[in-house]
Structure 1
Amino acid sequence: MRLLVSASAALALLGLPLASHALDGITDSKGDFLATFAGSSASHDLDVLAASVFYNPTTDVFTLTATLDGAPGSTATGFYVWGVNRGAGTAGFASMGITGVRFDRVIILRPDLTGTIGGVGALPAGSVTVSGNVITGTISGSLLPSTGFTNKLDYTFNLWPRDGAFSGTAAISDFAPNNANFTATPVPEPASAALLLGGLGLVAVLRRRRQSNS
């Protein structure tokens, strides 16, 4: 019975904290450049294929990751803007018919490994990394104080690459997701992760015992 209780607790741990949040970020269609984009459709590094945000409550750190159709930096004037809704987000692109992208702070990541947060300033050295077609930013939650949400896991995000050779909305190549925001995936605390793995191991043992007894 104790084994069953432990396993059940671990399964509950697996399901409950993540139930209301995106598990794997979002994917975005290849080649879906906005009709209003003034840049080139050959700027594959400005075409988002996937995006994820992870939040670690223990360290209060967000990790923002984007996978592009080309290597970041291929477009010399390209960079990546993450919009964050911390509770008071507004539809800054309503004039484009994009009413689902809401934000009250922006994070800019650049292929030269620099970054800034609007209204705050430059990110610390080492905050931005590039590997292949992936650009990642590591952001302290202290730089993203709440404007209404009580839990930082309720923050929502959208990513839009820009070509700095153009101005205004003509510089935006893509929205990911297209007309919505998505939430972060919580990173389990070490103790919770250990309990989860232990419980899943117990489930596997119980299944093998049942199979051997049948």
Structure 2
Amino acid sequence: MRFLVPTSAALALLGLPLASQALDGITDPRGDFLATFAGSVASADLDVLSASVFYNASTDLFTLTATMDGNIGSTSTGFYVWGVNRGAGTTGFISLGLDGVRFDRVVILRPDGTGTVAGAGALPAGSVTISGRTITGVVSGSLLPSTGFTNKLDYTFNLWPRDGAFAGNAAISDFAPNNANFTATAVPEPSTAVLGALGLAGLLAWRRRQSNS
């Protein structure tokens, strides 16, 4: 019975949205370039395959990460726009027949490792990292103040790559999701992680005792 509490904690922890689970949460079909895209369908680095956002309340940091179908930077004029709905989001793509992509601020990540939050300025050096087909940006929550939502985990997001060689909506290659936003995944507090480790250790010990009895 002494293992009951940590074992229960371990089982409960399985339902938590851990960061390692979330990358598979938002996926996007390969090759679904918009018909209005003026660029080349050979620009695989502008075709979103997956996108995720993590929020750490203890540090007030958002981590925006996305994986493309090609290596980041293959299209020299490409960059990545994250739309954020903080509570007062409106649609800007009715002309494309999209009413589900709503935002009131954008974060821009570039293949050269720089980034910008529109209306708030450049991201600090080192905020944007690139690894093959994946580009990640870390954004302070102070740069994304609420416009209506009381909890930053209520914020919603959409990603649309652009080819800067073209103007307006013709520059947009893809939306992820196609006509909707998605929410961030909470990063567990350190105390929760410790509880989970203790619980898993207790579960393993209980199983060992059962197998030896």
TM over 0.5: yes
Deviations, residues 53-94 of structure 1 (Å, cap 9, x unaligned): 111111111111111111121111110000011111112212
Mapped pair 1:32 → 2:32: yes
Contact kept in structure 1, 2:78 and 2:163, CA below 8 Å = yes
Alpha-carbon distance in structure 2 between the residues aligned to 1:42 and 1:12: 45
Could you tell me how far 1:172 is from its partner in structure 2? 0.4
Mapped pair 1:5 → 2:1: no
Could you tell me how far 1:205 is from its partner in structure 2? 2.3
Deviations, residues 103-149 of structure 1 (Å, cap 9, x unaligned): 11100001011111111111111111111111110101111111111
Mapped pair 1:23 → 2:22: yes
Deviations, residues 187-210 of structure 1 (Å, cap 9, x unaligned): 112111010121122122223333
Cα RMSD (Å): 1.7
2:42 counterpart residue number: 42
2:51 counterpart residue number: 51
**SS of the counterpart of 1:83?**
strand
Alpha-carbon distance in structure 2 between the residues aligned to 1:6 and 1:130: 39
Alpha-carbon distance in structure 2 between the residues aligned to 1:9 and 1:150: 29
Deviates more, 1:131-140 or 1:204-213: 204-213
Mapped pair 1:131 → 2:131: yes
**SS of the counterpart of 2:41?**
coil
Alpha-carbon distance in structure 1 between the residues aligned to 2:184 and 2:38: 31
**SS of the counterpart of 1:106?**
strand
2:106 counterpart residue number: 106
Mapped pair 1:174 → 2:191: no
**SS of the counterpart of 1:207?**
helix
Could you tell me how far 1:23 is from its partner in structure 2? 3.4
Alpha-carbon distance in structure 2 between the residues aligned to 1:40 and 1:115: 24
Matched length:
210
2:84 counterpart residue number: 84
Deviates more, 1:40-49 or 1:195-204: 195-204
TM-score (normalised: structure 1): 0.91
**SS of the counterpart of 1:139?**
strand
TM-score (normalised: structure 2): 0.92
Taking only the aligned residue pairs, the percentage that are identical comes to 74
What runs of 5+ residues in structure 2 fail to find an aligned partner? Answer: none
What runs of 5+ residues in structure 1 fail to find an aligned partner? Answer: none
Alignment of 1:185-204 (within 5 A): 185-204=185-204
Query: How has the CA–CA distance of structure 1 residues 13 and 151 changed in structure 2, closer, same or farther, with 3 Å as cutoff?
Result: farther
Could you tell me how far 1:14 is from its partner in structure 2? 4.3
